[in-house]
Structure 1
Amino acid sequence: MKERELRKRCRKMLNKLDIEPPLDVGVLCERLGDQRGRPIRLMPYPLEVPGPFGCWIATSTADYIFFQQETTKSHQDHIILHELGHMLADHHPGGDAEPADFLRGPAPDLDGDAVHRALRRTSYDEAHEWEAETVATIILEWASVLNYTIPRRADDDDVRRVQGALGDHQGWL
């Protein structure tokens, strides 16, 4: 998929999910999970270094995103958005996926029969990794601009009407 297509898909997703600046990755996951009809569970975990920073595992009832807990909040957000990028780009690994050994401790219920797919990558050489990384970068680029340039939506209806009349625009590039 080309970067232009990814940008369109990201913009469409953020608008459809009614995600407004400032970006809250937890809210994004909650709304995307609602749209997909299955919760997205964020699982901070002390992953081994060197090794993967994150892993998405889809079971029959939920999506789990494991991410490195031993890093900064901004890096964690990037890792989570990367894994969401795999979902957004409709990536599916081949064959029957087994949970990685490093995940058996924090989620023993994720046995081989329950796992439909697992994406565990440590490099960006493959097209899927490029797409997932590009999705994360696109969303973070937009957030870095919009989080600081667009006024927060007012709670008061009258103030929102005035903001609308003055041309304050809430939304994604």
Structure 2
Amino acid sequence: MSAPGPAPGSVAERLNWLFDVVVARDPATGAWRPYTNAEAGGTVVEQLRAGATAEPGQLAALAEFFGVDPAFFGDDKAVVDRIRDELLIRALRECGFLSYLICRMSVPTATQREQLRRAILRERAVIGTLRTWHDDRRAEEEPGHDGGTTGMTSTPMSISQLHGLCRKLVDDLGLNTPFGPHDLCDRLAKLRGRRIKVKATDLGGTSGVGHLAPSRDVDRIFVERDSPAPQQSLVIFHEVMHIVRDHLALGDTFTCGVGAAEDPAAGAYADWREWEAEVGARELARLAQQRPKPNRLPHAAGSADHSIAGAFGFTYGR
């Protein structure tokens, strides 16, 4: 049985967290790696990470080494949390993300930060080197989105408008029902000329939560790998609605959506963009499960009988 980790908020927990989030960088190659205990202070740091009591001056020295405000090791929890958020945003930008949204369900702030920490570790393992586009002044002049498909304004759509938008989207993409979320993403990506990558990964067991992470050349959607397929589909449709409605055009580039209500029509959302995405997601999920209409099916061998049979789920052999 493994030993329990350091207590949340302890010096050991904060120090271990820094080793995860703040990394060393090779100035020549851009490759990154975690700092070692030896680089940060040797045996003393190893002992502190294991739970030893800090001596005067040690924490200030560690804060200077990691380039953080010494208040990170202080007693003001609000200040500590603010510093955590600033470091997470910096690390996410280093990974090349323009935005990072956690959507659909209300999760505690501490859980949100843990999910972002996992995301940073996951992305670093994939790309291997820091991305430095954010250091280029041009990045500040370019929008943090590429434009949606509807010319989104700051005025929310009504339920009927959102349902109409979803039906039009399905028609414009040439999707025949039933269809899956991956089919929709593939066709939408081709329409927009911008990739959409969907990945099932470990989000800490938060099966109802979706992550949307746009970077310069791709929109990434993350879903919990252990959640049922229908749940994953709904999450993907939710993130697609954020893309279609160009919700990120309004800023708030690193935010978390307030939790979804049981009935999205009730409007129980602090952020109307989350409400729009959820209403649209449920309509897309409904459309995706519809049986095809006979007049939308190809006429195999010139026979309408094949189209009618297909509408009821029957197929003909060769």
RMSD between aligned residues: 2.8
**Map of 1:22 onto structure 2:** 178
Identify unmatched segments of 5+ residues in structure 1.
Answer: 99-118
Q: Name the TM-score, length of structure 1 as normaliser.
A: 0.71
**Map of 2:274 onto structure 1:** 129
1:50 & 1:10 partners in 2: Cα distance?
A: 26
**Map of 2:283 onto structure 1:** 138
Contact 2:177–2:287, Cα closer than 8 Å, also in 1: no
Contact 1:86–1:132, Cα closer than 8 Å, also in 2: yes
Superposed CA offset, 1:108-131 (max 9, x none): xxxxxxxxxxx6425132211110
Change (3 A) 1:51 1:71: closer
Contact 1:43–1:65, Cα closer than 8 Å, also in 2: yes
Q: How does 1:52-91 map to 2 (within 5 A)?
A: 53-91=209-247
**Map of 2:300 onto structure 1:** 156
Aligned pair 1:32/2:188, yes or no? yes
Change (3 A) 1:165 1:141: closer
2:166 & 2:217 partners in 1: Cα distance?
A: 24
Contact 1:33–1:40, Cα closer than 8 Å, also in 2: yes
Q: Name the TM-score, length of structure 2 as normaliser.
A: 0.40
Change (3 A) 1:49 1:135: same
Query: How far 1:163 sits from its partner (Å)?
Result: 5.8
Contact 1:52–1:122, Cα closer than 8 Å, also in 2: no
Query: How far 1:143 sits from its partner (Å)?
Result: 2.9
**Percent same amino acid at aligned positions?**
26
* Larger RCO (CA within 8 A; separation ≥ 6): 1
Give the structure with the higher percent helix: 2
Equivalent residue letter for 2:285: L
Contact 1:54–1:120, Cα closer than 8 Å, also in 2: no
Query: How far 1:150 sits from its partner (Å)?
Result: 3.9
1:130 & 1:122 partners in 2: Cα distance?
A: 9
1:39 & 1:70 partners in 2: Cα distance?
A: 24
Superposed CA offset, 1:18-76 (max 9, x none): 01111221111000011111111001111024587111111111110011111100100
Q: How many residues align?
A: 143
Contact 1:38–1:62, Cα closer than 8 Å, also in 2: yes
Provide the secondary structure at the position in 1 that maps to 2:247. Answer: coil
Contact 1:40–1:65, Cα closer than 8 Å, also in 2: yes
Provide the secondary structure at the position in 1 that maps to 2:198. Answer: strand
